[in-house]
Amino acid sequence: MASVKANSLAAQLLRTGQVVAIPTETVYGLAADATNPAAVQRIFEAKGRPQDNPLIVHIAGQEMLAQVVAAWPPAAKRLADAFWPGPLTLVLPRAGGIAPAVGAGLATVGVRMPAHPVALDIIARAGVPLAAPSANRSGRPSPTTAAHVLQDMAGRIPLVVDGGNSPVGVESTVVSLAGKPTVLRPGFVTPAELSEALGQEVALAPSVQGPAEESGPVESPGVKYRHYAPKAKLTLVEGPLPAFAAFVAVKSTETPGVYAMCFTGEEKTLAVPAVPYGAEDDPKTQAAGLFAALRQLDEAGAQQVYARMPAGGGVGLAVRNRLLRAAQFRVESET
Ligand code: TXA
Ligand code: MG
């Protein structure tokens, strides 16, 4: 687990331009000094990340904001006061001191103050804002434990700081304040909570619910890439449990390596091996368990996974968004 010694070693490596994996409350991040272009480049290399996908910058206190953003409109202050430290990223005009590669060609930057004591301590010790995407190899499910980070990053980075399980389990809500407040990526902070704090409705980018347009302008470049995907082929199944159980039973007679991803307690009613990802009526537990379940299915050698479709309300919007992308929008309806 993280210790003062581990945190100060992390800060030392970060100050010398190295990449370090750190825990946050959402998922583990692959951090580097956001003001150092060579350090930022190392993130893209370690992750295998396309250069046109921008990184989120993490701060330990609002006094660091001046180094990161070139504007701080009233809407930003409202949302930061309501949700920071916490799982909310604000997209704003970028300050000159941030390495341009962080913005991946955009004039903006995503910034957040994470609600994890280890992350906050490491940022404060490093003394610089840290660029940090999720600490998975590009395209893989995001890591919610130090062990997940090692599965993807062993031999590629010098240090993973272990801060235990990431309690939220899905990445931060990304809200653009560059124009009309718009959710670019759903997360733990819901559109209803954002609208209430802002005193105005937030818009939802089309990519929140459906596939990103191949053509046309992309508001959040990250959404167009293959994401969160296990090695197994994943398909979501809409419909009640008895229909799901019948469906997977038939599928398992047709193809080998069929697994189910189900809600807690459903395993025993299914004729195929199953990994639960959370309680049917509690999307927060689904968010917390989602990525670990996807990795567990790979470990088990699953070739074809059928997953129960979550209801989309509240945090469920984020769970649905991640599962749809992991499944590359393959959905079957069974009634
Ligand atoms: O919870 C999180 O946000 C985690 C932890 C480590 O903090 N980080 C994370 O980073 O999820 P990443 O790189 O996996 O996702 C960043 C997302 C992408 O969808 C990217 O396109 C979007 O944020 N993003 C970053 N900067 C942006 C910008 N300037 N404009 C629009 N979208 C941006
Ligand atoms: Mg990511």
How confident is the prediction for the chain on average, in pLDDT?
A: 94
CB 59 within 8 A of CB 111: yes
Q: Whose CA is nearest to atom 17 of ligand 1?
A: 222
Is the beta carbon of 321 within 6 A of some atom in ligand 1? no
Rounded Cα gap, residues 126 and 161, in angstroms:
14
Rounded Cα gap, residues 26 and 30, in angstroms:
13
Å from CA of 22 to ligand 2 middle: 14
Is the beta carbon of 261 within 6 A of some atom in ligand 1? no
211 pLDDT more than 90:
no
Is the beta carbon of 172 within 6 A of some atom in ligand 1? yes
Question: Which pLDDT tens digit goes with each residue over 268-308?
Answer: 999 999 999 999 999 999 999 999 999 999 999 999 999 99
312 pLDDT more than 50:
yes
Å from CA of 133 to ligand 1 middle: 6
Can you tell me the mean pLDDT for 219-238?
A: 80
Is the beta carbon of 98 within 6 A of some atom in ligand 1? no
Question: Which pLDDT tens digit goes with each residue over 139-191?
Answer: 999 999 999 999 999 999 999 999 999 999 999 999 999 999 999 999 999 99
Model pTM score: 0.95
Å from CA of 323 to ligand 2 middle: 14
Length of the chain: 335
Q: Whose CA is nearest to atom 15 of ligand 1?
A: 133
> Apex CA 117: angle with CA 115 and CA 119, to 5°?
80
Question: Which pLDDT tens digit goes with each residue over 183-195?
Answer: 999 999 999 999 9
- Residue ranges of alpha helices (H) inside 28-167 are 37-47, 65-68, 74-83, 100-103, 117-126, 146-153
Can you tell me the mean pLDDT for 234-262?
A: 97
Cα Rg of the chain, angstroms: 20
Can you tell me the mean pLDDT for 28-45?
A: 98
Question: Which pLDDT tens digit goes with each residue over 81-117?
Answer: 999 999 999 999 999 999 999 999 899 999 999 999 9
214 pLDDT more than 60:
no
CB 29 within 8 A of CB 22: yes
> Apex CA 294: angle with CA 159 and CA 251, to 5°?
155
Those residues with Cβ within 8 angstroms of residue 30's Cβ, 6 or more apart along the chain or in another chain: 19, 20, 21, 43, 46, 47, 132, 133, 134, 135, 153, 157
Is the beta carbon of 102 within 6 A of some atom in ligand 1? no
Please state, as a whole number, how many other Cβ atoms lie within 10 Å of the Cβ of residue 323. 23
218 pLDDT more than 70:
no
Residue-level pLDDT at 219? 61
Rounded Cα gap, residues 219 and 208, in angstroms:
11
Residue-level pLDDT at 90? 98
